């Protein structure tokens, strides 16, 4: 195995190796490869940068290209070895010779770009001593435009469901509690399927107040109570209580309000077993509907999402 400087006479061999590299890589999401531009850049690096060719018995099997990007910084732009010659140290030989030549030019620091999905290459580079120094983010323009579209008017929602048919008892308890949260009053719906919905304008805009209403009703009535709320017009929260104690809590985007410990993220997923015991909801249906995600954009619109969860739990629609 030999490694030598590439010259203009080696451009056809470099093009064959580079095309083999492109064949192995998945096509970029943002469009096709500009072959003419890429090959022109390779020719420029052979002329003005550092270009190396690895040969085995006179046949090209790999190449590496680099150039200076500052007085003391160099960039490894290309590194490729044919599949049949890998795991024989060819890439290491190329990079060692390339870094040596850069060092002779006064280069003290070497950088390279690597796809986040290329875990094998990242492992090799880490073994050589390269480490992540900055992160480059990217996205298709269509996706960015969709995410940056002006938001629709904020949807606010807060409904408490009490598992009982005793309308008078719920109305009495809710009416007594409303003044304590500064509410002018509450609406108590007639029972539907064994549930009574309590709607309060103040609690609907304040997640903490909504939770207090649910806890108060559950404690006073000794009943199973669920609250469904939409917070900041973006995420859905469900709280289940039994005799005044929270037994399950779900948030559609667990880290929407800030980073959490992994255990806390898991805890904010809906517990289908507990909710089945409290409401009789089908666990499989509930799991399919009460999903969690990294961002609200990865879930249905919040009002639609809240209504689907309510339906899965057998509750009256939260949005009437």
pLDDT, position 233: 87
d(Cα 147, Cα 115) in Å, to the nearest integer?
23
pLDDT, position 89: 92
For residue range 123-134, what is the model confidence (pLDDT) as tens digits? 888 889 988 888
pLDDT, position 133: 85
Along the 320 residues of the chain, how does pLDDT read in single tens digits?
899 999 999 999 999 999 998 888 765 544 567 888 889 999 999 999 999 999 999 999 999 999 999 889 999 999 999 999 998 999 999 999 999 999 999 999 999 988 877 788 888 888 899 888 888 787 777 777 877 776 555 557 899 999 999 999 999 988 887 666 556 668 899 999 999 999 887 777 788 889 999 999 999 999 999 999 999 889 999 999 999 999 999 999 999 989 999 888 899 999 999 999 999 999 999 999 999 999 999 999 999 999 999 999 999 999 87
DSSP 45-109: HHHHSEEEEEEETTEEEEEEEEEESSSSEEEEEEEEE-GGGTTSSHHHHHHHHHHHHHHHTT--E
Top-level CATH class of 2-143?
Answer: alpha beta
pLDDT, position 28: 58
24 Cβ contact list (under 8 Å, min separation 6)? 83
| Closest to 204 measured CA to CA, from 228, 224, 188, 220 | 228
Q: What are the Cα distances from residue 51, in Å, to 48, 81, 220?
A: 9, 14, 79
pLDDT, position 277: 96
316: how many CB neighbours lie within 10 A of its CB?
A: 17
For residue range 211-265, what is the model confidence (pLDDT) as tens digits? 999 999 999 999 999 999 999 889 999 999 999 999 999 999 999 989 999 888 8
pLDDT, position 136: 79
d(Cα 91, Cα 108) in Å, to the nearest integer?
21
pLDDT, position 309: 97
DSSP 201-269: HHHHT-HHHHHHHHHHHHHHHT-EEEEEEEETTTEEEEEEEETTEEEEEEESSTTTTS---HHHHHHTS
pLDDT, position 121: 85
């Amino acid at each position: 195995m030999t490694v030598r400087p590439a010259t203009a006479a080696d451009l056809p061999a470099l093009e064959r190796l580079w095309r083999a590299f492109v064949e192995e890589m998945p096509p970029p999401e943002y469009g096709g490869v500009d072959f003419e531009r890429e090959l022109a850049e390779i020719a420029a690096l052979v002329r003005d940068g550092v270009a190396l060719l690895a040969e085995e018995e006179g046949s090209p099997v790999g190449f590496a290209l680099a150039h200076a990007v500052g007085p003391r910084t160099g960039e490894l732009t290309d590194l490729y070895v044919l599949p049949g010659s890998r795991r024989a140290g060819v890439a290491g030989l190329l990079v060692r010779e390339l870094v040596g030549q850069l060092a002779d030019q006064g280069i003290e620091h070497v950088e390279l770009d690597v796809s986040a999905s290329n875990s094998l290459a990242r492992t090799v580079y880490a073994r050589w001593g390269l480490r992540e120094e900055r992160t480059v983010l990217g996205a298709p323009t269509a996706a960015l435009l969709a995410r940056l579209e002006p938001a629709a008017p904020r949807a606010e929602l807060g409904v408490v469901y009490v598992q009982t048919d005793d309308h008078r008892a719920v109305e009495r308890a809710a009416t007594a509690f409303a003044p304590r949260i500064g509410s002018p009053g509450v609406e108590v719906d007639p029972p539907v399927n064994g549930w009574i919905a309590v709607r309060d304008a103040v609690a609907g805009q304040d997640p903490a107040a909504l939770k207090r209403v649910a806890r108060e009703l559950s404690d006073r009535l000794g009943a199973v109570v669920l609250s469904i709320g939409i917070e900041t017009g973006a995420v859905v929260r469900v709280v289940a209580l039994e005799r005044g104690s929270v037994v399950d809590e779900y948030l559609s985007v667990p880290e929407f309000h800030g980073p959490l410990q992994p255990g806390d993220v898991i805890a904010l997923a809906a517990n289908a077993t507990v909710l089945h015991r409290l409401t009789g909801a089908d666990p499989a249906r509930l799991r399919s509907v009460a999903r969690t995600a990294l961002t609200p954009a990865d879930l249905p619109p919040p009002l639609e999402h809240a209504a689907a969860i309510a339906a899965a739990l057998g509750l009256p629609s939260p949005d009437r």
